[in-house]
């Protein structure tokens, strides 16, 4: 599929977020060439009356001035140096980054400002920016999550068609950890009836531990309108025998029932503990402790 890149300046770089574990997000691009069948962003695209089906990812907005705008926003007196999530709505290391380098430019701004951030990606291109990540981690809390739902080759190829193979992401993770940057694995989304098989979960956790991951977490597939239609159509094409089970499992819901999702999260947590997944970095990059304000006795 031919991808159109639209170079468009932005008015703001940071987005206020509600109902998430982070308060601010940053996305140098909008739209994603990875085109994962399960991508939850498709739901937001449908709500905005933009393509959420097969045409999603065919047009990428490139926010050409995003780093300059970010620098202005971080320098405002009202900015409270809150943590920022990078990659919540599009992968910051999708192929466009190789040409435009906007994610790198934003990381340089964050490093200069000493502002904390977390970044999630499926893109091993991140190792190109290891120098910036190291500098940023010396000044503020920095954490990178590599999204690796499964190591199963067939599941990966069918559900994450535009992404690099999982083993390449693991190699990138190891390079970051060796340099002292906190980097873990997010096993999300786990697909009921496919990647939730115990042996597949264990494979990912063991590989994460071998790569030096500082942590592992998991979550089960989330299906809102826009994402649901596209994912179920892909499921019918690739694994038609699973479709009745998904219809029964999700029905009118967006989330799988807790009776399905909680055991998966518990299992991954137990596997991480049993395999000794923890922060084992030989080099620890940490921001300097904040200076204490001394009070003078009068």
- 83-116 pLDDT tens trace: 999 998 899 999 999 999 999 999 999 999 999 9
Q: Quick one: pLDDT at residue 174?
A: 98
Domain 4-274: top CATH class: alpha beta
Residue ranges per domain, the chain? Answer: 4-274
Q: Quick one: pLDDT at residue 4?
A: 92
Q: Which residues of the chain fall short of a pLDDT of 70?
A: 1, 43-53, 290-298
- 143 strand-pairing partners: 118, 182
Q: Quick one: pLDDT at residue 127?
A: 98
Cα–Cα distance, 193 to 204 (Å, whole number): 16
pTM of the model: 0.93
Residue 96 burial by CB count (10 A; 0-12/13-18/19+): exposed, middle or buried?
Answer: buried
- DSSP alpha helix (H) spans, 160-226: 166-178, 198-211
Which are the contacts of 84, defined by CB distance < 8 A and separation ≥ 6? 14, 22, 24, 25, 26, 110, 115, 116, 117, 118
Contact present, 82 and 19 (Cβ < 8 Å) = no
Q: Quick one: pLDDT at residue 40?
A: 82
- 25 strand-pairing partners: 15, 85
Q: Quick one: pLDDT at residue 154?
A: 98
Q: Is 20 helix (H, G, I), strand (E, B) or coil?
A: coil
pLDDT in tens, 265-277: 999 999 999 999 9
Q: Quick one: pLDDT at residue 53?
A: 63
Which are the contacts of 253, defined by CB distance < 8 A and separation ≥ 6? 223
């Amino acid at each position: 599929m031919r991808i159109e890149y639209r170079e468009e300046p932005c008015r703001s770089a940071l987005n206020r977020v509600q109902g998430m574990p982070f308060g601010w997000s940053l996305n140098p691009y909008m739209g994603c060439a990875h085109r994962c069948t399960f991508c939850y962003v498709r739901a937001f695209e449908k709500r905005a009356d933009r393509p959420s089906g097969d045409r999603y990812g065919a047009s990428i907005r490139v926010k050409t001035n995003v780093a300059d705008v970010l620098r202005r926003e971080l320098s405002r007196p009202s900015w409270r140096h809150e943590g920022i999530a990078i990659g919540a709505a599009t992968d910051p290391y999708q192929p466009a980054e190789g040409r435009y380098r906007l994610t790198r430019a934003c990381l340089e701004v964050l490093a200069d400002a000493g502002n904390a951030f977390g970044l999630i990606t499926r893109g091993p291109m991140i190792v190109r920016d290891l120098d910036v990540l190291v500098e940023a981690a010396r000044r503020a809390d920095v954490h990178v999550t590599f999204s690796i739902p499964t190591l199963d080759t067939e599941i990966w190829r069918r559900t994450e068609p535009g992404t690099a193979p999982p083993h390449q992401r693991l190699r990138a993770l190891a390079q970051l950890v060796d340099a002292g940057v906190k980097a873990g694995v997010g096993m999300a989304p786990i697909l009921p009836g496919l990647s939730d098989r115990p042996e597949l979960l264990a494979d990912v956790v063991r590989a994460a531990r071998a790569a030096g991951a500082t942590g592992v977490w998991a979550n089960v597939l989330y299906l809102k309108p826009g994402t649901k239609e596209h994912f179920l159509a892909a499921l019918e094409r690739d694994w038609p025998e699973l479709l009745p089970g998904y219809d029964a499992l999700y029905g009118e819901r967006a989330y799988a029932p807790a009776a399905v999702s909680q055991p998966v999260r518990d299992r991954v947590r137990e596997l991480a503990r049993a395999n000794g997944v923890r922060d084992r970095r030989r080099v620890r990059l940490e921001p300097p402790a904040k200076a204490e304000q001394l009070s003078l006795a009068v």
